[in-house]
Structure 1
Amino acid sequence: MSQYVRDARITMIYEGANGIQALDLVGRKLPANGGRALMAYFKEIGDFCEENRADEALSFYTKHLKKGLNDLQTASMWLMQNAMAKPDNAGAASTDYMHLFGLVAFGYMWAKMVKAAQAKLNAGDGDKAYYETKLVTARFYMERIMPETQLRLARIQTGADTLMTLPEDAF
């Protein structure tokens, strides 16, 4: 029984840590140095998509990655435009933004793994079943997980009004 209590207790710490990390991402990391790191990351992913979109083996993956990147860029611009004027918007959006960023980052890693796996398969090098499994898993991610970027973007763009409607004494 005591183990269940400890496990339940650590969950609160994890949730708090995620919230703090999300607020730090939106409040400090994104605007640091005029957003140059963010823009460089967007460029890196965009360049990867552009360089590989004509490759039949990669086009499916880069198409989905590009959609996710577009959602992330839209969310970033929304935050830049709305968080300064109303700081509650930054707080309300931060966790969804962190998850959106993570979805795109993982999508980028999957696309890079697909490129590497396809090169190994084309060369007839290594464990064929292993590389084919990578391709199937990446496809699953792009079809079933990556579309969550649209959900996260929609939640970000709703702003803080609904969250801030209740008065403090309601808690």
Structure 2
Amino acid sequence: MINTENLLTFVVPYYQNKDIMHNLSHIERVLKYVNKLLEVGNYKVDRDILTYSAYFHGFIYNSEECIVDWLKTQQISNDMIERIINIAWESQKDKMAITLEGKILHDAHMIEGGKTYLIVKSLITGSVRGQTLEQTIKYIEDNVLSKGICYLPEAQNVYIQQQEFAKSFICDLKGGLD
């Protein structure tokens, strides 16, 4: 059973200085989509492992050792720690998910926010990074459109809708800028 207070105390500092698309509200949105996928797909998984992995997803790439050390202080078994770390890595957009939990978390991350969210997130993130609109459009074209996959059929439909909306939006946007 997760001690939510301890978990939040540990993760909050890692998210404090992140932009509005990558802070703790991002994790809450991803978990919302995890729950939707679990409900629709009727998957039987360890929700605690998914929850831990979701919270660590945003900083696993630069703080894995700190995460492992903290999990050990929570009296979590080495086997569970290994699963949590693996699933947090599998949730990354550029990683391949092998486990069912990894696929669920990965897909929830990919479809977070629904059809229009991909464009909103890309535009805000580009702005926060100091990119011009043209640089952000190029980034979206090179790194977002027709990139990535979803593993679960329940997520694939949402992802296809996101991609179609994003392509149409960028086409219209570019047409208005020319």
Compare the two structures and name the one with the higher helix fraction. Answer: 1
Task: Name the TM-score, length of structure 1 as normaliser.
Answer: 0.28
Larger Rg over CA atoms? 1
Relative contact order (alpha carbons < 8 A, sep ≥ 6): 1 or 2 greater? 1
TM-score where L is the length of structure 2: 0.27
